[in-house]
């Protein structure tokens, strides 16, 4: 079964540093998403991406965040200057029609 | 904007007990409804979904859910749980645009299910 792959599985970074979280969506999928889950809280939508541009973003997705699909396979989430409150599990998802497929997540710890 | 509420944060059961996890949503339009499961250390996996038609939907691993439109509910059930069902369960909703899925998922808080052998 096709999978969405996320790397790294765990990243520790110092406050103020930039991080890039990587995702390889399923190859024929057209819609791409990032979600995050702060420990003990809901899974929250961050951003959706379609046709090489952001189609929707949440209020969490401020100027510190950006997404990119630099080639035909990768989909990245960049956080420019991490804060302690960015510590969370970040999930990538992709879909073609209704079927969202999620990656196993990157646990980001900001110290 | 849509919202989802799951009533139970942590449910503890013995094997063979019956399970019902509550989910209520708030949205003025037509929605699609989903239940996802996350086993420890793994990704979110789809258990079942409702788009239209029969409000009783059956999913994988013996799970089912019933959509009750008047109650804005989509409760998950399983008649007899197993130790391997220990996981976190998430209810989610998105807009239904002409019978297809549309846009972002909005998740509930999640329910941790612990099944004792």
A4 touches chain B (CB under 8 A): yes
B107 touches chain A (CB under 8 A): yes
pLDDT of residue B66 exceeding 70, the answer is yes
pLDDT of residue B16 exceeding 90, the answer is yes
CB contact under 8 A, B51 and A98: yes
pLDDT tens per residue, range A10-47: 999 999 999 999 999 998 888 999 999 998 888 999 99
Residue B1 CA to its chain's centroid (Å): 19
B42 touches chain A (CB under 8 A): yes
Best A58, A91, A102, A104 residue to mutate vs chain B (most B CBs within 10 Å): A102
pLDDT of residue B96 exceeding 90, the answer is no
Q: Is the dihedral of CA A22, B45, A58, A41 positive or negative?
A: negative
Residue B17 confidence (pLDDT): 98
pLDDT tens per residue, range A74-99: 999 999 999 999 999 999 999 877 67
B96 touches chain A (CB under 8 A): no
B99 band by pLDDT with thresholds 50, 70 and 90: low
Q: Parallel, antiparallel, or unpaired for β A106-110 and A10-13?
A: parallel
Distance from C-alpha of B82 to C-alpha of B97, rounded to nearest angstrom: 36
Residue B95 confidence (pLDDT): 84
CB contact under 8 A, A42 and B43: no
How many residue contacts between A and B have a Cβ separation below 8 Å? 52
Average pLDDT, chain A: 92
pLDDT of residue A100 exceeding 90, the answer is no
Residue B67 confidence (pLDDT): 95
Distance from C-alpha of B15 to C-alpha of B52, rounded to nearest angstrom: 32
A5-19, A56-70, B34-48, B66-80: segment of lowest average pLDDT: B34-48
Distance from CA of A89 to the nearest CA of B (A): 11
């Amino acid at each position: 079964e096709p999978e969405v792959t996320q790397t790294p599985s765990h990243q520790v970074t110092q406050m103020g540093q930039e991080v890039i979280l990587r995702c390889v969506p399923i190859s024929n999928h057209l819609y791409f998403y990032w979600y995050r889950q702060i420990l003990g809280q809901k899974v929250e939508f961050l951003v959706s991406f379609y046709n090489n541009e952001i189609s929707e973003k949440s209020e969490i997705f401020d100027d510190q965040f950006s997404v990119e699909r630099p080639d035909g396979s990768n989909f990245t989430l960049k956080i420019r200057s991490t804060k302690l409150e960015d510590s969370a599990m970040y999930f990538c998802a992709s879909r073609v029609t209704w079927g969202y497929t999620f990656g196993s997540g990157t646990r980001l710890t900001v110290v | 904007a849509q919202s989802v509420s799951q009533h139970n944060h942590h449910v503890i059961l013995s094997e063979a007990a019956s399970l019902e996890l509550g989910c209520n949503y708030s949205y003025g339009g037509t929605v699609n409804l989903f239940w996802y499961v996350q086993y420890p250390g793994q990704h979110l996996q789809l258990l079942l979904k409702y788009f239209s038609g029969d409000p009783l939907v059956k999913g994988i691993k013996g799970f089912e859910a019933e959509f009750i439109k008047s109650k804005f509910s989509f409760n998950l059930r399983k008649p007899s749980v197993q130790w391997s069902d220990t996981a976190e369960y998430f209810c989610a909703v998105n807009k239904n645009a002409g019978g297809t899925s549309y846009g972002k998922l909005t998740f509930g808080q999640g329910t941790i299910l612990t099944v004792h052998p």
